[in-house]
Amino acid sequence: MNKMNTHELVSALADGQLADEELSGGIVALGQDLAAREAWQAYHLIGDVLRSPELAGGSPTPAFMRRLSERLAAESPHGLPAAPVAEPQAPPRVLTVRPANDPVFRWKLVAGLASMTAAAAVGWSLLSSGPAATPMGSQLAGTEAGGGAVMIRDAQLDELLAAHQRLGGPGVLQTPAPFVRQANFEGAGR
Amino acid sequence: MTQAPTPPSTPNTDLVLVERTLAGDQKAYELLVMKYQRRIERLIGRMVRDVDLVEDIAQETFIRAYRALGQFRGEAQFYTWLYRIAVNTAKKTLVDLRRDPLVTESAMKAADDDDETSAVENELTSPDTPETVLAAKEIALTVNQAMEALPEELRQAVMLREIEGLSYEEIAEVMSCPIGTVRSRIFRAREAISARIRPLLAHQAGKRW
């Protein structure tokens, strides 16, 4: 085959008459050479006009191409792995909502006084009760240990417990009650 | 008006350009756009009257085609595939516009007719402005004058190619010359015509109609 210049290559490419190797070469030339691209445009325009004169009209190709190129640039290119789109990381949520009474100083004052009063009351009760106010747990522990400790009994409480034992009887239904009869399900009809 | 001849099929070139685009070469896609822009605009112009809208829909067509290019398997010709996208895009645009009460009826035409060869309809609904009509006539006239000025063997070669759609091999047989000669004649004919229309295209490029 004769060696063709670039435009002749473009002409044959426009006709789809190039072999594989030349085809690639022609496309590469079109990608690099502006004059070759203009020739590509002109050759197709000539063919269109020869077939149908009305195709001479329409939008001017350079303006159309400029606009389209801008839009294509915004598209993700084919053949390339799509760039991982970083998910917008939501900033850690900071609770910025302040209590409704936060700006009111007297609420803080009252809360502080209440805390101090409560602490003082607890402290006062501990100090004023002395050794006699030892918790029940420690009394019991001391009794069970049998270490000679005297168990403090409440006479009224003992009396109440005794009355319960006398009147309460055994636990509910733990022993056969007089109103409960045993039933036999092995009747004749069964 | 007679039906325009079918353009010579060049499926392999289109397919290669599609493959290169899919491989990341955006310029390859631009070559396809340059090749089919006029035909797509003419098609859309039969459905829409507003000349600016025609260009917008053509732009949208090529963007949609670009996005869907991976679905093009080369089983049909690229233009056939592109044609459907253009028709669907135009119809969708018209439906959207009909929902817009500000769009007047004169800006649109029924989208039902997607027959590319309805020449009468085309004449009635041409989206061209007087300026584009004048420029188109000027280009067409220049191309025809350049054709008439060509030597007979060049004119015959390019006519057999562009009008009759013959392959280089078939033209070589008709003209009884080697394929290389056919290729050279067609190229020289195109260059001669290009030299005549280049000033018009340069003027067109610097002006938005």
CATH code for the domain in which residue B56 is found: 1.10.1740.10
Domain boundary among B127, B160, B176: B127
User: What φ, ψ does residue B181 adopt, rounded to 5°?
Assistant: -70, -40
Each residue's pLDDT tens digit, A14-41: 999 987 788 888 888 888 899 999 999 9
- pLDDT category, B51, cuts 50, 70, 90? confident
Indicate whether B18 and B52 sit together in one domain.
Answer: yes
Indicate whether B18 and B107 sit together in one domain.
Answer: yes
Indicate whether B136 and B115 sit together in one domain.
Answer: no
Q: How many folded domains does chain B comprise?
A: 2
Smallest CA–CA distance, residue A84 to chain B, in Å, is 17
State what percent of residues in chain A have pLDDT above 90: 17
Q: Which domain holds residue B191?
A: 132-205
* Residue B117 contacts A where some CB pair is shorter than 8 Å: no
Q: How far apart are CA A110 and CA B133, in angstroms?
A: 89
Domain boundary among B83, B111, B127: B127
Domain boundary among B127, B149, B179: B127
Indicate whether B42 and B15 sit together in one domain.
Answer: yes
Shortest CB distance from B143 goes to which of A7, A27, A46? A46
Indicate whether B100 and B136 sit together in one domain.
Answer: no
Which residues does residue B108 pair with via DSSP β-bridges, in sequence order?
A: B48
Indicate whether B144 and B173 sit together in one domain.
Answer: yes
Residues of B in contact with A56 (CB under 8 A): 135-140, 143
* Residue B24 contacts A where some CB pair is shorter than 8 Å: yes
B 120-149 near A (Cβ less than 8 A) = 122, 128, 132-133, 135-140, 143, 147
Indicate whether B123 and B144 sit together in one domain.
Answer: no
Indicate whether B27 and B62 sit together in one domain.
Answer: yes
Which residues does residue B200 pair with via DSSP β-bridges, in sequence order?
A: none
ipTM higher than 0.90?
A: no
Q: Is the pLDDT of residue B185 over 90?
A: yes
Q: Is the pLDDT of residue B198 over 70?
A: yes
Q: Which amino acid is at A30?
A: L
Has residue B3 been placed in a domain?
A: no
> Is the CB of A49 less than 8 angstroms away from the CB of B140?
yes
Q: Is the pLDDT of residue B200 over 90?
A: no
Indicate whether B21 and B34 sit together in one domain.
Answer: yes
Each residue's pLDDT tens digit, B128-152: 677 777 888 999 999 999 999 999 9
Indicate whether B17 and B107 sit together in one domain.
Answer: yes
Smallest CA–CA distance, residue A41 to chain B, in Å, is 6
CATH of the domain at B161: 1.10.10.10
The CA-atom distances, in angstroms, between B48 and each of B90, B92, B182 are: 8, 12, 41
Mean pLDDT to the nearest integer, B6-26: 79
Q: How far apart are CA B58 and CA A102, in angstroms?
A: 63
Q: Which amino acid is at A171?
A: G
Q: What pLDDT is recorded for position B86?
A: 97
Name which of A146-150, A155-159, B28-32 the model is least confident about: A146-150
What is the Cα B122 distance to its own chain's centre? 15
